[in-house]
Structure 1
């Protein structure tokens, strides 16, 4: 009977270990972010109204995804910690609990969004004419929302074991399938009718369903990486441990789409063209910060395993080295975006006004993506250190003390340009705060004062 291979992350070169974990995920994340960008491009061809409606869906769909990402963070930290302590059997059962728990919570959240659909989007800033267009996408997406849970949490289990190649293959395959299905289902092909926004949602759901089947088969059947035959006491304790990190992490992640909704409402004051451009900007941000997002997935299991094993020197080295790399890399990305800003605006702005706003956005917001990366990686590091409340507080400060207030004030002072400048300044300030917060936890690192709860023998 084959078993999943557990990679020991507490030995060997820190740079080599992180590179081995990161490069497969980077390839997969590139494809995932590309398909998000392709989604926006194909929808933009439908018209400004459809692109604006599509942009309104992003805060809501990302709220569901953020819940799953947070549960994945809790899963990764919990399973990696058990692996670092040498308890592989407990790690398998924790992974099984995580998969079931995430599916149940996602279905409940999707049902809630379904019931409150119109009220949510009106609150964000959508008008009555836009609501039916938004529903074309959301009705399908919410039905298939449960398929978001399985690949994300399943991949978190594998990353906690130091395995990033299989997750990267699953993510890349899912992204490729989405890219292929998008033009077919949106515009029609042969016997397939043109479905517009409904087709865009269906392409995404089918891609997630495909990756769900693959990852569950690999986890349960082939690799035996997760299990469910444990005492109820063990299951409940595993769920408690996962949620102790996962719920604050989910709350922290879900603050982002809530703030995004607030930002969308601020920008909606400047017209549908501004909302459409901001929607493109959100997907552009996901694409050009994919190195940050990838490291936020591979750094936590490394930190958790080493912290649990007492290798605090390796934790410090990994965090500080990663932050330095991200700041340099994102600086280079910003210069490239400045050169390509006009091209990006023309490609995604079928309307001249939309194109001009995209160019303005690209010139301002990416300047602070490096600082934003410091916040993201600091949050993931704090979660990996089992300090999720620190991460939650940091995100609260970034979004609701800095980001939204400064964007609002900037808009009052200098219009749409001021909104973007205020948001960029907020990220720069919070990046410094995040750096000092994590350094305060790591330099010097204090020994844990309390032990993990003793989860009963399986």
Structure 2
């Protein structure tokens, strides 16, 4: 007689949804804290932070769409018992995210003034907002990788692990942003550039954690060819 298949245990919907809600809350809280830190520098810096963050958040939507799409494809393959196909899709989307993140970063780097003019940025804010948006460009590439890798983790029902990575990213970001923006000891105050540097560093930490979790929990290793 053929062996009976073990039914797949599906977690309750709440167990899958609450980490997503916490992620959204953390993103909003981080943005609010960032605005407060920028406003301590000057009113113009606060305005520049707000308008540049709107452009950055709009571009980040592209990464969220890719992350949601890959979650669907990976879930379909896993549901069909095609684990190897799911792993190939996961690695392929990392490569696609590289191109998407690079293009988005170039848009911010080379088209900062044009994007800000589309939002009718005030003349007194534009000189601060444009360099800040350009400084955010490296973090956009890292965000593209993190979003796609987090989407694969969610498809494998590792939502709590994804949340843990996000918490580490936000905590490390704010912990670095405060001394870099306002100065601390021998560190000079970098202003908005310090916030961007802290953002890139925290996203690099998140990428390292995602790569580790892919190896440990999903048994997926990302190669340079991907």
Scaled by the length of structure 1, the TM-score of the pair is 0.45
Matches of 1:170 and 1:209, distance apart in 2 = 11
For the Cα contact (< 8 Å) 1:185–1:203, is it kept in 2?
yes
Matches of 2:160 and 2:138, distance apart in 1 = 30
Match of 1:222 in 2: 216
Match of 1:141 in 2: 136
Match of 1:73 in 2: 68
In structure 2, the CA distance between the partners of 1:112 and 1:32, relative to structure 1 (3 Å rule), is closer
1:73-115 residue CA offsets vs partner (Å, 9 max, x unmatched): 1100110111122211111111111111112111012113322
Match of 2:153 in 1: 158
Matches of 1:22 and 1:127, distance apart in 2 = 39
Match of 2:4 in 1: none
Q: Does 1:187 align with 2:173?
A: no
Q: CA deviation at 1:206?
A: 1.2
Q: CA deviation at 1:208?
A: 0.9
Alignment of 1:214-363 (within 5 A): 214-219=209-214, 221-226=215-220
Match of 1:104 in 2: 99
For the Cα contact (< 8 Å) 2:44–2:124, is it kept in 1?
no
What SS is found at the alignment partner of 1:62?
A: helix
What SS is found at the alignment partner of 1:162?
A: coil
Matches of 1:76 and 1:174, distance apart in 2 = 21
Match of 2:163 in 1: 168
What SS is found at the alignment partner of 2:190?
A: coil
Match of 1:57 in 2: 52
Aligned residues: 219
Structure 2 gaps of 5+ residues are 1-6
What SS is found at the alignment partner of 1:193?
A: coil
For the Cα contact (< 8 Å) 2:51–2:129, is it kept in 1?
yes
Larger Rg: 1
For the Cα contact (< 8 Å) 1:150–1:216, is it kept in 2?
no
Displaced runs of 4 or more, over 4 A: none
Match of 1:120 in 2: 115
Q: How large is the Cα RMSD of the aligned pairs?
A: 2.3
Q: CA deviation at 1:209?
A: 1.1
Alignment of 1:417-456 (within 5 A): none
1:396-440 residue CA offsets vs partner (Å, 9 max, x unmatched): xxxxxxxxxxxxxxxxxxxxxxxxxxxxxxxxxxxxxxxxxxxxx
Q: CA deviation at 1:22?
A: 2.6
What SS is found at the alignment partner of 1:223?
A: helix
Alignment of 1:357-436 (within 5 A): none
1:330-368 residue CA offsets vs partner (Å, 9 max, x unmatched): xxxxxxxxxxxxxxxxxxxxxxxxxxxxxxxxxxxxxxx
Matches of 2:37 and 2:69, distance apart in 1 = 35
In structure 2, the CA distance between the partners of 1:28 and 1:225, relative to structure 1 (3 Å rule), is farther
1:140-179 residue CA offsets vs partner (Å, 9 max, x unmatched): 2113321111221111101111111210110011011112
Matches of 1:85 and 1:63, distance apart in 2 = 34
Matches of 1:135 and 1:157, distance apart in 2 = 33
For the Cα contact (< 8 Å) 2:181–2:191, is it kept in 1?
yes
Match of 1:205 in 2: 200
Of 31-40 and 89-98, the range deviating more from structure 2 = 31-40
In structure 2, the CA distance between the partners of 1:207 and 1:148, relative to structure 1 (3 Å rule), is same
